[in-house]
Structure 1
Amino acid sequence: MAKSRKPAQDKAANRAAKKEAKAARKAASKQRRSQLWQAFQIQRKEDKRLLPYMIGAFVLIVGLSVVGGIYAGGFTTYMLIPLGIVLGALVAFIIFGRRAQKSVYKKAEGQTGAAAWALDNMRGKWRVTPGVAATGHFDAVHRVIGRPGVIFVGEGAANRVKPLLAQEKKRTARLIGDTPIYDIIIGNGEGEVPLSKLERHLNKLPANITVKQLDALESRLAALGSKIGPAAMPKGPLPAQAKMRGVQRTVRRR
């Protein structure tokens, strides 16, 4: 009897585990849909062109698929119309995503911590160390390690950021030898890179080192550490009016 009872218990436990996993997936999916809907509602209120663009793209693509189906005739008609609906919905969703992303970057631009936030949210194998150097005014330099080599990204007033960049490049060059070092200042001035184009700019840099060299480089640069530490940096963009006296004092002490 004991032998027959154990497989039955195992089956019951497996069913319960599967049921729990299914419930968890459903809950996560529901939460994602809820967040997406909330994001859409916020974006729709702020961006008056969003709905016209989305509806226009959907109607245009469906219309073209209908015309193409009628022109082709036969079974192709019944294939193109559903395909046009799916494609139209996909393009409308892409438009929403692009405009929402653009809106987020526009709001973040010029705010303290915006560059660090943008770097942390990049896709790809980038190794980001925020706040390797900073001033009491919260101008900051962030270090990025990737296939191009080492990239220093500065945010804040250019006249204060440039000396910080020069110092970091100098002390890093002593340690990494011939590995290429790049520097970028976030902004809209001459020679600066807008926040919304930062990821694109980094992806355009040439691949100068291998993944194996990248890992070794990261280990070597870990020894340099940070002059202020990530704990002193804001976790995301801070409004210009935010009270940062305590954080600024922390930076000065370090």
Structure 2
Amino acid sequence: MAAGKGGSKPSKEAKAAEKAARKQASKERRKQLWQVFQMQRKEDKLLLPLMIGAFVGITVILVVIGLLVHMQWYLLPIGLVLGGLVAFIIFGRRAQKNAYARMDDQPGAAWWVLDNLQGKWRPTQAVAATAQLDAVHRVIGLPGVVLVAEGSPHRVKSLLAQEKKKTARLVGDTPIYDVVIGNEDGQIPLKNLQRYLTKLPRNIDAKRMDLIEGRLSALATRGGPALPKGPLPGGAKMRGVQRTVRRRS
């Protein structure tokens, strides 16, 4: 019995450590959310009116409905929770929109979006790059291979063509999509990049993705300066906001 008790002690310590880690992570998320909220509130004068309006409006509507059906005390807490959720979603979306606006035309902006993709996407940063911080990023997903270029249009055009040619030699008949980030004709605005990727057709399965990833790992990254993982210091904070919004919605 003594041995059994002795053997269970590390398990309790491990559980305590895990609980402490979760508590610390939760504390960090709340801190990040508060910092982003304060920053967004200063830059977005409509944020608080919209959040308060959504919270109060939804709560009042449900209370009124409750009064009509004599269930006001039942619908009141539902209204408070639903109103708070909608207010939080408004905050997350406006903060994300503001982040896209601030990142536009900055080196590393496209990678910041790709690095935050949800689902079965496997992004690789700067598989080709120039000294001027132009870059081509690669994403493997169910549509196939997507090459995303950012930087000066006249420089990334040739960079993208070279990378597409190298990729085609290794992936066979797997579809290859290429896109240039920008606001000119034929380009995809940064804010629409994620939507563009999610609307692509599904052409391959996970097994094929593994095979392609293995083949493309042999492609050496062209030498050049390392790009930042996001042009804004608050990039990591925005990532936390997006994930928290998804969990709570």
CA distance in 1, matches of 2:21, 2:76: 35
* TM-score in terms of structure 2 length: 0.86
SS at structure 1 position matched to 2:203: coil
Q: How far does residue 108 in structure 1 lie from its aligned partner after superposition?
A: 1.0
Q: How far does residue 23 in structure 1 lie from its aligned partner after superposition?
A: 3.2
Q: How far does residue 178 in structure 1 lie from its aligned partner after superposition?
A: 1.3
Structure 2: 5+ residue runs without aligned partners?
234-249
Q: How far does residue 10 in structure 1 lie from its aligned partner after superposition?
A: 4.6
Counterpart of 2:62 in structure 1 is 65
Q: How far does residue 72 in structure 1 lie from its aligned partner after superposition?
A: 1.3
Counterpart of 2:110 in structure 1 is 115
2:104 maps to a residue whose letter is E
* TM-score in terms of structure 1 length: 0.85
1:106 maps to a residue whose letter is A
1:53 maps to a residue whose letter is L
SS at structure 1 position matched to 2:107: coil
The yes-or-no answer on 1:190 pairing with 2:185 is yes
SS at structure 2 position matched to 1:232: coil
Q: Judge conservation of contact 1:133–1:142 (CA < 8 Å) in 2.
A: yes
Q: Judge conservation of contact 2:183–2:189 (CA < 8 Å) in 1.
A: yes
Counterpart of 1:137 in structure 2 is 132
Q: How far does residue 118 in structure 1 lie from its aligned partner after superposition?
A: 1.4
CA distance 1:8–1:146, shift in 2 (3 Å): closer
The yes-or-no answer on 1:233 pairing with 2:241 is no
Q: How far does residue 13 in structure 1 lie from its aligned partner after superposition?
A: 5.0
Superimposed CA distance per residue, residues 143-169 of structure 1 (whole angstroms, 9 cap, x where no aligned partner)? 111111111101011111111111111
Match of 1:127 among 122, 125, 132: 122
Q: Judge conservation of contact 1:131–1:228 (CA < 8 Å) in 2.
A: no
The yes-or-no answer on 1:56 pairing with 2:53 is yes
SS at structure 1 position matched to 2:178: strand
Count matched residues: 233
Match of 2:91 among 92, 96, 117: 96
CA distance in 1, matches of 2:35, 2:115: 23
CA distance in 2, matches of 1:233, 1:205: 27
The yes-or-no answer on 1:105 pairing with 2:107 is no
Structure 1: 5+ residue runs without aligned partners?
240-254
CA distance in 2, matches of 1:181, 1:187: 20
Counterpart of 1:175 in structure 2 is 170
The yes-or-no answer on 1:224 pairing with 2:224 is no
Which of the two has higher C-alpha Rg?
1
CA distance 1:41–1:176, shift in 2 (3 Å): same
